[in-house]
């Protein structure tokens, strides 16, 4: 299990990130606006299932990495911090263009669910995000890194499921807000990523 203080910090950081509408949220909102709330919830289920795949990969990969070299784990941690800073700077500069993922054709809920899985599983940025974000809250000296990564990942999924569902249920108003406040949200999200990256780069092993 992660250290309780780190877990609390992780929950706060995760909530801050989830408040910022990213590509997955915009995908969900688009489906909900276009095809109704049930379609939005089907997309949420698909995105969540895809996230489980990334969490499993991160749990196996990070655990294997630490087992082979603690130094390599620290290298990944600092590279992850740098990645978060770069993403933040790109967003601040307007270079990160969210893909709204519009889907035409069938409104089948099962099809939207499958598409949500594919959209998330095949998005390399999602995999990079978890490999960059989760290690910042793992204490290698506590041992059993895989269980820490798994708990953090499942916590993020639970929080994301709630926030994504709220976005899907309130898609109309959220979509309008995003259109009016797009520049503000870009600066806010960019600042969040840069701040997380800087804090992670300054953190020392306990």
Residue among 206, 186, 195, 205 at smallest CA distance from 81? 195
pLDDT (0 to 100) of residue 196: 66
Residue among 83, 88, 77, 79 at smallest CA distance from 195? 88
pLDDT (0 to 100) of residue 206: 43
- Rounded Cα distance between 11 and 55, Å, is 16
pLDDT (0 to 100) of residue 54: 85
pLDDT (0 to 100) of residue 165: 92
pLDDT (0 to 100) of residue 104: 38
- Rounded Cα distance between 169 and 43, Å, is 12
For each of the chain's 206 residues, which pLDDT tens digit applies?
Answer: 767 888 888 898 888 888 776 767 777 877 787 677 888 899 899 999 989 988 888 888 765 665 566 676 677 667 767 877 887 788 788 776 544 444 434 458 888 898 888 877 876 667 777 877 887 788 777 767 788 888 999 999 999 999 999 988 887 565 566 556 667 767 766 776 687 677 666 655 44
Structure tokens of 175? 């979509």
pLDDT (0 to 100) of residue 176: 60
pLDDT (0 to 100) of residue 100: 44
The 8 Å CB, 24+ separation contacts for 71-76 are: 73/135, 73/140, 73/145, 74/205, 76/131, 76/135
Q: Whole-structure pTM over 0.85, yes or no?
A: no
């Amino acid at each position: 299990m992660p250290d309780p203080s780190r877990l609390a910090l992780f929950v706060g950081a995760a909530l801050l990130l989830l408040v910022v509408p990213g590509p997955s949220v915009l995908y969900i909102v688009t489906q909900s606006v276009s095809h109704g709330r049930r379609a939005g919830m089907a997309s949420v289920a698909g995105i969540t299932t895809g996230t489980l795949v990334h969490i499993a990969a991160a749990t196996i990969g990070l655990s294997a990495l630490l087992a082979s070299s603690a130094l390599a784990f620290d290298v990944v941690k600092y590279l992850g911090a740098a990645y978060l800073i770069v993403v933040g700077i790109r967003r601040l500069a307007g270079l990160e263009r969210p893909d709204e993922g519009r889907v035409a054709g069938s409104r089948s809920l099962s099809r939207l669910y499958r598409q949500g899985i594919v959209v998330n599983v095949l998005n390399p940025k999602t995999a990079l995000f978890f490999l960059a974000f989760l290690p910042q809250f793992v204490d290698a000296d506590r041992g059993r890194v895989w269980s820490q990564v798994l708990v953090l990942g499942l916590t993020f999924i639970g929080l994301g499921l709630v926030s994504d569902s709220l976005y899907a249920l309130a898609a109309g108003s959220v979509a309008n807000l995003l259109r009016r406040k797009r520049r503000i949200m870009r600066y806010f999200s960019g600042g969040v990523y840069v701040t997380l990256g800087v804090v992670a780069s300054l953190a020392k092993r306990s």
